[in-house]
């Protein structure tokens, strides 16, 4: 999965030709670590349809604040440079995958 920073967000997410799922996370967040393996698997399975990337909110505070991220994990799907879907909290892999596939 790709690491996105405040500096690369515009180029990597807003200008992406594919939908991009952003996982807003932090090192200290237990549920964030819990969903990471599921996101890796979904990335491997749907990699041709969607880019799955992470933004560490501690290292990159501007982007989460711009998009109103208040709790983590927050998953946000961007399509054509616009937020198209949001999920907050940890979900099992099958629910995450259903949400991603129905959103892109």
**pLDDT at residue 44, rounded to an integer:** 95
**pLDDT at residue 1, rounded to an integer:** 86
Helices 30-46 & 93-103 angle (0-180, nearest 10): 50
- Give the residue numbers annotated as catalytic, written as ranges: 29, 32
Residue with the larger pLDDT of the pair 47 and 30? 30
With 90 as the cut, is the pLDDT of residue 29 above it? Answer: yes
**pLDDT at residue 8, rounded to an integer:** 98
Angle at 13 between CA 17 and CA 40, to 5 degrees: 95
Residue 82 to residue 13: CA distance in whole angstroms = 9
pTM of the model: 0.96
**pLDDT at residue 32, rounded to an integer:** 97
Distance of CA 103 to the CA centre of its chain: 13
């Amino acid at each position: 999965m790709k690491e996105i920073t405040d500096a690369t967000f515009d180029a990597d997410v807003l200008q992406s030709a594919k939908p991009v799922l952003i996982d807003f996370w932090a090192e200290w967040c237990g549920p964030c670590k819990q969903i990471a393996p599921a996101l890796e698997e979904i990335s491997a399975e749907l990699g041709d349809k969607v880019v799955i990337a992470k933004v560490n909110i501690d290292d990159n505070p501007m982007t989460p604040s711009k998009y109103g991220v208040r709790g983590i994990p927050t998953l946000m799907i961007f399509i054509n440079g616009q937020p198209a879907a949001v999920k907050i909290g940890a979900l099992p892999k099958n629910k995450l995958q259903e949400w991603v596939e129905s959103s892109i």
